[in-house]
Structure 1
Amino acid sequence: MESPPRDGQVSAEPTGSALVSRAVELPDCDPRPFLAGRDAPRVYWTSPYGPEFAGGGTAARIAADGADRFETVREAADELFEGLDYDGPEAARPRLFGGFAFHEDHDPAPPWQGFGAAEFVLPRTQLTRANGETWLTVSSLNATPEAVERELAEVREALAESRDRANGPDAGPPGVVSTTSTTTREEWAEQVSAAVSRIEAGDLRKVTLAQALTAELADEVSIPDALARLGESYPDCFRFCFEPTTDGAFFGATPERLATLRGRTVETDALAGSVGRGDTPEEDAELEASIETSEKMAHEHGLVVETIRDQLSPVSGEVRVADRRVRKLATIQHLWTPIEADLTDNGHVLSIVEALHPTPAVGGLPPEAALRTIRETETFDRGWYAAPVGWFDAAGDGTFAVGLRSAVTDGTSATLFAGNGIVADSDPDEEYEEVQLKYRPILDELEDE
C-alpha cells in the first residue's frame, strides 16, 4: 500500500517537480474495462453536464488535514501545475481527482481507512470521453517528454490488444447477505425529537441527521460494473468513485452539485426537500404536487437557497437564482433551484467549495450549532459522506458534487449513508421512511434481483 504524503506535500514516483503530460486520441473506449484494468488508486467521474473520466495509478498525490486543508491542497496543486508540460486537447488535460471528509478532523479509521481529511490524485493514466471523442492521457513527474510519449504509446497498444476480450458481460450485483443499521427506528425518533427541541428553543434553525447501513455481501462487488449500472438508472446524476488504496472505495450517484467553476462563472444547486416516486403517473403527479405545496419542504428548501446566496455574495458581483422546480430521479424527486454567480476576480474552485461546505442541505443552520448537533447525535463516522468530491485542473476550474447516495466498500462489505433535513415540524416516522428511500440507489445495485 502506498503511504500518503504529509500535509500539502506532493507525493510521486519518481520524485521531482516537472509534470509532463501527453494525450492521444483513441477509438471509443468503454471506461468499465479500462477502470477494471487499472491499479489503485483508481478514480471515476462523470456528470450530466460534462466529460467522463476514468483513471488509475499515481503521477502525483496531495493530502492535507485540519482547518486549512482547502488552502493547503490549493497551494500544493499550484506548485505541482506550475511547471506543467502538456501536449494535447483541452478536454484531456491532466486533472486532480479526490475530495474531502465531512469533518476537518476526520480520522481515517475503518471503514474509511485510506481516506484522509483531504486526498487528491493525479492519475498516471487518464481516459477522457468528451464531445464524441475519447482520449488517453499519460502523466509523470520528473520524466522526459520522450519517456512519457513512449509510455503513452505502450498503454495505447495494450488497450487496443485487450479491447475485444475486455468488453465482457457485467458481473452483476454481488448480492446482500444481511444489513445492519446504526440507528433503530426508536433511536431515530429520539434523535429527531431532540433536534426539534433544539430548534424550538432557538438553538437551531435546521440540522441534517444521517444514518449508516452496513451490508454484508455474498460476493465481491465490482465497482466498474456498479458504476455502469448506476449510469443506466441515474443518468442525470453525478457518478463518482475514489479508491485511494486497495483497502476501500467510495462511490455513488449523487443528484447534488456543490460547485462548478468555469473561468469566473460559478454554478451550484440548492437541493432540499424530497418525496418518493409514484407507481402510476397519477400517483407520481400527486406526490409532485405534495412536495411543491408543502410548507415544511418550502421552508427547508428556502433556507438552503438563502444560505448559498449569502455564501456567494462576498466573492461575486451578481448571484442569479433560477425558479424553483422539481427534479425527478428514478426513486425520488427533489425540490431544486439552480444558482449561478459571476466572480469579481479570478478564483479557484476549491475556494468556492470551501465557502459552500457544508451546505444547509447536509449540515444545517447556524452551521456551528448544526455541526455540534451532528457530532453529539450521530453514532457513526460520516467520513466522506455528504462532503465534496470531484476534480480540478491547473487553471483552478473544476466541478465538485456532494457525496450523497453513496457507499464505502472494501469489496465484501459496504457501508451506505443517507440523511434528512430536520426542521421544526419534522415528523420522525416520515423522516425515517425518507432516509430508507435514499439508500435505494446503491442498495439496488448490490442486491440480487
Structure 2
Amino acid sequence: MTPLEEFANWPGGDRVYWRAPGDEAVVGLGEARAVEVDGPWRFEAAAAEAADLLNDGEVAFGGFGFADQPGSGAWDGFPSGRLVVPDKVVRGSAAGAGSSGEAGVLRVEDGTRASYRDAVKQAADAIDAGELAKVVVAREVEAVGSIDSSVVLARLASRYESCAVFGFGRGRSCFVGASPEVLVELDGDVVTTCAVAGTASRGATPADDADNAERLASDPKEQAEHRYVVEYLRTRLALAGVDLHPTGDTVVRTLPGIHHLSTMVTGRIAPEPGLALRLAGALHPSPAVGGTPSTFAQRWIAEHEGLDRGWYAGPVGWIDHRGCGSFYVALRSALIGPYGLRLIAGAGIVAGSDPEQELVETDIKLAAVLDVVT
C-alpha cells in the first residue's frame, strides 16, 4: 500500500502524514515513544527530550500550538507541544487513497465577517496609538458534513506540489494543511527559513494575474509588512548563533489562488541534538503569524481575537537524532473532526490596513482548503 493508503487504513488514532515539496511522502503510524510539553519553555524542553527520545536513524514528528498552553474543545488531544516516534514508518509516492474519491457533502457556516472587520479596526486603532507596529488577526469558519482526512490530504498533495502537506491524526480528529512557509530547516550545518508575508489574489486572465503580481511587488503596505518578517527572522537567527548569509532577493511566489512576497534567509550553524527545535522556538511566532513587537502582539491576539488557534500557525514537522529537521508554519490548514472542518486564516494588519481588504485576504487563504473539499 502507498503511504496515504496506510494512513487511511490505520486503525489507531495516532498517525502522521508528511510530504515536503519535491519529496516522497512519509507516514508515521502509532506511538513507540512520545513526549508532550507546554509553557513558555516548551521548545527548549522538547529539544532536550528529543536528544533522549531518538535513537540513531529515527525521526520524531512534532506539532506545536500557536500559544504555549493546550487547546480546548475541538482541539482536545492537541497539546501545546508533542513529539512522537512512530511504531511504523512508511515512505513512498504521495499519490494514493482518496485522490479521486468523494470528500463528502459540506455546508460552509461563516458568521464572522462583521466581527472580523471590527477586530481589524481595533487592531488598526492600536497601531495608530503606537501600541503595535503589526498584528495578525485571524478568523475561523466551519464546514459541516462528512469528510475523510485521507481524501483531503490526497487532494492537497496533488494541488499544492510546492507546499509541505501534513496531517496529524489524534483520536477522531486530524489536523491537515498545505503550508507554503518553512519556519526553519536544518540540513547538516545549513539553516534555511523563509519570510512569506504580503498577499495578492490571482487574476482571472494571464494579463490580470501579471498585473496583480506586479502591484504586490511594488505596494508600500505589503512591502512594509514583509520587511518586518525578514528583519525579525535575521535578528532571531543571529541571536541563536547562526552565521547568516546575505539576504536573498524578495520575489513574488505564485500558488493556486494566491500570490505572496517571499524572501529566503540562510546561514550556517554546527548541528547538535535537538537543535532544529531550539531554532523553531527562537523563530516562533514570527511577525507573519503574530506581529511586532512580538510580546505585545501575542497579548493583543489573546485579548481581542476571540478564538482558540490550536495548532494553526504553530510549527509542524520532524527532527532526527542529529538535531536536523524541518518545521513549517501550519497555514492553509483545517482541523477535521467527526462532523466537518474548522478552518482558520489571518491577515497582517499594519498602518493603513483596510478592514474590507483584509477580510478578502482571509477569504483567499481559506479557499486554499475549501476549494479541495467543497
1:122 pairs with one of 85, 89, 94: 85
> Shift of the alpha carbon at 1:293?
0.9
Letter in 1 for 2:325: G
Judged with a 3 Å threshold, the aligned counterparts in structure 2 of structure 1 residues 324 and 64 are, in CA distance, closer, same or farther, namely same
- Structure 2 residue 2 is the aligned partner of structure 1 residue 30: yes
Judged with a 3 Å threshold, the aligned counterparts in structure 2 of structure 1 residues 307 and 169 are, in CA distance, closer, same or farther, namely closer
CA contact (8 A) 1:268 1:339 kept: yes
Letter in 1 for 2:41: D
**Hey, what's the Cα distance between the residues in 2 that align with 1:194 and 1:357?**
24
SS at match of 2:4: helix
1:110: which partner in 2?
73
> Shift of the alpha carbon at 1:332?
0.4
**Hey, what's the Cα distance between the residues in 1 that align with 2:244 and 2:100?**
47
SS at match of 2:130: coil
- Structure 2 residue 329 is the aligned partner of structure 1 residue 438: no
> Shift of the alpha carbon at 1:177?
2.5
- Provide the aligned C-alpha RMSD in A: 1.8
1:200 pairs with one of 125, 128, 133: 128
Letter in 1 for 2:191: V
SS at match of 1:43: strand
Q: Output aligned runs, 1:386-401, within 5 Å.
A: 386-401=313-328
Letter in 1 for 2:184: A
2:176 pairs with one of 242, 248, 251: 251
**Hey, what's the Cα distance between the residues in 1 that align with 2:347 and 2:140?**
12
- Structure 2 residue 99 is the aligned partner of structure 1 residue 172: no
Q: Which moved more, 1:36-45 or 1:390-399?
A: 36-45
Q: Output aligned runs, 1:302-341, within 5 Å.
A: 302-314=227-239, 315-341=241-267
**Hey, what's the Cα distance between the residues in 2 that align with 1:40 and 1:238?**
22
**Hey, what's the Cα distance between the residues in 2 that align with 1:80 and 1:436?**
41
1:290: which partner in 2?
215
> Shift of the alpha carbon at 1:431?
0.4
- Structure 2 residue 316 is the aligned partner of structure 1 residue 352: no
1:68: which partner in 2?
41
CA contact (8 A) 1:301 1:335 kept: yes
Between the two structures, name the one with larger relative contact order (CA 8 Å, sep ≥ 6).
Answer: 2
What does the per-residue CA deviation read over 1:51-80, in whole Å, with 9 as the maximum and x for residues that have no partner? 421121111111111112112222222112
**Hey, what's the Cα distance between the residues in 2 that align with 1:169 and 1:189?**
36
> Shift of the alpha carbon at 1:261?
0.5
Letter in 2 for 1:33: E
> Shift of the alpha carbon at 1:426?
0.3
CA contact (8 A) 1:171 1:222 kept: no
**Hey, what's the Cα distance between the residues in 2 that align with 1:226 and 1:287?**
29
CA contact (8 A) 1:98 1:390 kept: yes
What does the per-residue CA deviation read over 1:272-327, in whole Å, with 9 as the maximum and x for residues that have no partner? 00011111100100101110110000000011101111111121222331100010
> Shift of the alpha carbon at 1:180?
3.1
> Shift of the alpha carbon at 1:94?
2.4
1:184 pairs with one of 113, 117, 142: 113
Q: Output aligned runs, 1:136-155, within 5 Å.
A: none
Judged with a 3 Å threshold, the aligned counterparts in structure 2 of structure 1 residues 54 and 288 are, in CA distance, closer, same or farther, namely same
**Hey, what's the Cα distance between the residues in 2 that align with 1:168 and 1:319?**
43
**Hey, what's the Cα distance between the residues in 1 that align with 2:15 and 2:272?**
31
1:99: which partner in 2?
63
2:298: which partner in 1?
371
- Structure 2 residue 238 is the aligned partner of structure 1 residue 300: no
Gaps of 5+ in 1: 1-28, 87-92, 135-165
1:428: which partner in 2?
355
1:145: which partner in 2?
none
CA contact (8 A) 2:69 2:79 kept: no
Greater than 4 Å deviation, 4+ residue runs: 166-169, 344-347
Judged with a 3 Å threshold, the aligned counterparts in structure 2 of structure 1 residues 58 and 359 are, in CA distance, closer, same or farther, namely same
Judged with a 3 Å threshold, the aligned counterparts in structure 2 of structure 1 residues 168 and 437 are, in CA distance, closer, same or farther, namely closer
**Hey, what's the Cα distance between the residues in 1 that align with 2:358 and 2:110?**
19
SS at match of 1:373: helix
Letter in 2 for 1:184: R
Judged with a 3 Å threshold, the aligned counterparts in structure 2 of structure 1 residues 227 and 436 are, in CA distance, closer, same or farther, namely same
Judged with a 3 Å threshold, the aligned counterparts in structure 2 of structure 1 residues 309 and 57 are, in CA distance, closer, same or farther, namely same
Judged with a 3 Å threshold, the aligned counterparts in structure 2 of structure 1 residues 169 and 300 are, in CA distance, closer, same or farther, namely closer
CA contact (8 A) 1:263 1:346 kept: no
CA contact (8 A) 2:201 2:212 kept: yes
> Shift of the alpha carbon at 1:113?
1.1
CA contact (8 A) 1:180 1:214 kept: yes
Letter in 2 for 1:37: N
2:51: which partner in 1?
78
**Hey, what's the Cα distance between the residues in 1 that align with 2:326 and 2:236?**
17
> Shift of the alpha carbon at 1:184?
2.6
**Hey, what's the Cα distance between the residues in 2 that align with 1:127 and 1:414?**
26
**Hey, what's the Cα distance between the residues in 1 that align with 2:48 and 2:188?**
19
> Shift of the alpha carbon at 1:168?
7.4
SS at match of 2:5: helix
CA contact (8 A) 1:252 1:403 kept: yes
